[in-house]
C-alpha cells in the first residue's frame, strides 16, 4: 500500500467515520480501517467465543501517525496492532478484531488480546495528549462492553507487563519492551474507561428524598434531597408542576430546611417533582403523595359571653386537628398566661384589672402555622383592691462591666429563592427568599429598581408582573447587614405579560 493511499485514509479518519450499530450498549468511536496484508494471523475470534480477555497498551516510540500506520500495515515490519491512535485522538484500525495482530511479543497473549498503539515516546516527560487518553478510553470502553473484559490492571495492561515467553520472570514480551512507560497515567486512564463504558453509573441522579412515594402527609413535612453523580448546581422543588422553591446549596432542602407546609394545599393527591441540575445534565424524580389535614380548632371549658367573673379565673383548653406548641390567654390584647404542656390550663387574676367589661382571647398556633382563637367579653366584678404597701427602695445597681468589643459581622448570604432561573411568570407573583447571616434588611429589585424592602423575616413580597413589558427581566434579592455588607442573588425570568 502506497504512502499516498494511507494519507488519504488518514484524512478520512480525522473527518469522522460511521459508528457502531444502534443496538450496541456503548457506541464505537469514529475510526478509519486501513487493512493491509501480512504481519497478522487470520482467525475466527468473536465476542461469543470469549477468546479475547486482554487489552495491551503500546507506545510507538516515535514517528508520525502516517509513518506508524505505514510501518505496521502491509507487511513492512514483522509487527502490527489492531489500532493506532494519533496525538490528536484520531483512530486508525489496521487489523480486524477477529484476527490476531502481532503486537505483544508473546503468541499466547496475542491470541487472546487486542493491541492499541499510541503515537508518542515511552520516556518523554510530556507524556501523551488528553485527546489520546479520551479517544483511547472511548475505544477501550467499547471493547470491554463488547467482550466483557474487566476494567482493571490485570486485563488492561501495558506492553511492559506481557511475560517473555522464552524467559520466565522477565516481561515486555520477547523483546523486553517497556512501553507505554512511566508517564502513562494509568489511574486517570482507567477512570476515563469506566466513565465511557458505564455511563449509567456516573450520571447525575436523585438518590433519595425524605418523602416517599404514596406517603400520606400532614402539617409541615421535612423535604430534602440527596443526589449522586456529578456535582449538583441547583435543585428545583415543584408541586403539581409549579416550581415553588429552588436551593443552590447542599444539603438541598425545601424552604431552607423549614419543610413543606401541606396545610396551604388542598387535601388530596399531589405530584411532587425534584429536578437536580448539574454541569453534565439534569435528573428528575416524581412522587405522588396524599395530603390529609384536619380543621384546626380550639375548645375551652364552659365560658359564655358577658359572664361575670371575679378572683382568679382558671380556664381549661385543648386543640384538635393539629399539634400545637401551647395555648395563650390574652386580656384586652395583653398576654397574661401561657401553658405549653397538655392538658392546657391558663389562669387570670381578675383583681389586677378594674371592674367592668374585658375582652379575653384564647389562642393556639399549630406547628404548621395555622392559628385557632376563641374571643368573648367577660364582666369583672371584684371588691376594691386594698392598697399595697410601698415597695422598698431598690438597691443601687452595680456598675456595668465594660462591654467587649463587638465581633465583626460575617457577610450575609442569599442561599435560595422560590423563583427559578429562566422561569415564566404571569400576574401577581409570590416572591420569597432565604438568607443566612445577621441580615438587617432584604430588598427585592426588578431590572435594578427596588420594588420592596423588608427588615424582618420571612423575606417575602409580591410582584405584579403585568407592570413590566413581556419578555426577560432581571430579578435581584439583596441582603444587607447593619454595617453595610451585602449579598445578591440574581436570576432572569420571562414575563408573559398576562
d(CA 316, CA 320): 14
Angle between helices 130-147 and 186-197 (to 10 degrees): 50
Please report which confidence band the pLDDT of residue 405 belongs to, taking 50, 70 and 90 as the band edges: confident
Please report which confidence band the pLDDT of residue 9 belongs to, taking 50, 70 and 90 as the band edges: very low
Across 285-296, average pLDDT: 94
The three grid cell numbers given for residue 178, joined into one nine-digit string: 517497556
Domains observed in the chain: 32-201 (3.40.80.10), 205-291 (2.60.40.10), 297-380 (2.60.40.10), 413-495 (2.60.40.10)
d(CA 432, CA 217): 23
pLDDT digits (tens, 9 = 90+) for 145-174: 999 999 999 999 999 999 999 999 999 999
Average pLDDT over the chain reads 89
pLDDT higher at 466 or 405: 466
d(CA 156, CA 141): 11
Checking if the pLDDT of 8 tops 70, the result is no
Checking if the pLDDT of 14 tops 50, the result is no
Checking if the pLDDT of 286 tops 50, the result is yes
Q: How many residues does the chain have?
A: 498
pLDDT digits (tens, 9 = 90+) for 225-257: 999 888 899 999 999 999 999 999 999 999 999
Please report which confidence band the pLDDT of residue 21 belongs to, taking 50, 70 and 90 as the band edges: very low
Across 3-29, average pLDDT: 48
Checking if the pLDDT of 475 tops 90, the result is yes
Q: What is the pLDDT of residue 384?
A: 66
Residue 271: cis peptide before it, omega within 30 degrees of 0? no
Single pTM value for the model: 0.49
pLDDT digits (tens, 9 = 90+) for 93-148: 999 999 999 999 999 999 999 999 999 999 999 999 999 999 999 999 999 999 99
Q: What is the pLDDT of residue 55?
A: 98
pLDDT digits (tens, 9 = 90+) for 315-360: 999 999 888 989 999 999 999 999 999 899 999 999 999 999 999 9
* Cα angle for residues 347, 364, 340 (degrees, 5° grid): 60
Across 196-221, average pLDDT: 90
Amino acid at each position: 500500500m502506497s504512502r499516498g493511499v494511507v494519507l488519504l485514509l488518514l484524512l478520512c479518519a480525522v473527518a469522522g467515520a460511521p459508528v457502531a450499530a444502534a443496538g450496541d450498549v456503548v457506541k464505537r468511536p469514529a475510526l478509519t480501517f486501513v487493512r493491509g496484508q501480512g504481519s497478522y494471523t487470520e482467525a475466527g475470534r468473536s465476542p461469543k467465543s470469549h477468546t479475547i480477555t486482554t487489552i495491551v497498551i503500546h507506545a510507538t516510540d516515535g514517528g508520525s501517525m502516517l509513518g506508524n500506520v505505514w510501518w505496521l500495515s502491509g507487511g513492512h515490519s514483522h509487527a502490527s496492532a489492531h489500532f493506532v491512535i494519533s496525538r490528536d485522538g484520531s483512530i486508525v484500525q489496521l487489523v480486524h478484531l477477529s484476527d490476531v495482530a502481532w503486537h505483544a511479543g508473546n503468541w499466547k497473549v496475542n491470541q487472546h488480546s487486542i493491541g492499541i498503539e499510541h503515537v508518542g515516546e515511552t520516556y518523554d516527560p510530556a507524556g501523551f495528549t488528553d485527546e489520546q487518553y479520551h479517544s483511547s478510553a472511548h475505544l477501550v470502553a467499547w471493547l470491554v462492553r463488547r467482550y466483557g473484559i474487566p476494567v482493571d490492571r490485570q486485563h488492561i495492561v501495558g506492553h511492559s507487563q506481557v511475560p517473555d515467553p522464552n524467559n520466565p520472570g522477565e516481561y515486555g514480551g520477547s523483546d523486553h519492551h517497556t512501553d507505554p512507560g512511566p508517564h502513562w497515567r494509568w489511574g486517570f486512564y482507567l477512570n476515563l474507561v469506566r466513565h465511557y463504558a458505564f455511563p449509567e453509573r456516573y450520571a447525575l441522579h436523585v438518590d433519595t428524598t425524605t418523602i416517599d412515594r404514596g406517603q400520606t402527609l400532614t402539617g409541615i413535612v421535612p423535604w430534602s434531597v440527596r443526589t449522586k453523580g456529578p456535582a449538583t448546581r441547583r435543585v428545583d422543588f415543584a408541586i403539581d408542576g409549579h416550581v415553588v422553591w429552588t436551593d443552590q446549596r447542599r444539603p438541598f432542602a425545601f424552604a431552607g430546611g423549614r419543610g413543606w407546609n401541606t396545610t396551604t394545599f388542598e387535601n388530596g393527591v399531589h405530584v411532587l417533582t425534584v429536578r437536580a441540575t448539574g454541569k453534565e445534565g439534569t435528573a428528575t424524580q416524581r412522587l405522588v403523595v396524599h395530603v390529609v389535614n384536619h380543621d384546626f380548632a380550639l375548645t375551652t371549658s364552659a365560658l359564655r359571653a358577658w359572664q361575670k367573673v371575679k378572683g382568679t379565673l382558671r380556664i381549661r383548653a385543648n386543640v384538635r386537628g393539629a399539634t400545637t406548641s401551647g395555648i395563650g390567654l390574652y386580656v384586652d390584647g395583653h398576654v397574661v398566661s401561657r401553658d405549653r404542656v397538655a392538658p392546657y390550663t391558663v389562669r387570670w387574676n381578675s383583681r389586677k384589672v378594674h371592674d367592668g367589661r374585658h375582652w379575653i382571647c384564647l389562642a393556639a398556633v399549630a406547628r404548621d402555622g395555622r392559628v385557632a382563637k376563641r374571643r368573648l367579653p367577660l364582666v369583672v366584678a371584684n371588691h376594691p383592691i386594698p392598697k399595697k404597701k410601698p415597695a422598698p427602695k431598690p438597691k443601687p445597681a452595680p456598675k456595668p462591666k465594660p462591654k467587649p468589643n463587638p465581633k465583626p459581622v460575617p457577610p450575609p448570604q442569599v442561599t435560595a429563592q422560590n423563583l427559578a432561573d429562566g422561569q415564566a411568570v404571569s400576574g401577581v407573583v409570590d416572591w420569597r427568599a432565604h438568607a443566612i447571616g445577621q441580615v438587617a434588611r432584604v430588598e427585592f429589585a426588578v431590572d435594578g429598581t427596588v420594588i420592596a424592602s423588608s427588615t424582618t423575616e420571612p423575606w417575602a413580597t409580591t410582584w405584579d408582573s403585568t407592570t413590566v413589558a413581556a419578555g426577560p427581566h432581571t430579578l435581584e434579592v439583596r441582603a444587607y447587614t447593619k454595617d453595610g455588607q451585602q449579598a445578591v442573588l440574581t436570576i432572569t425570568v420571562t414575563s408573559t405579560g398576562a
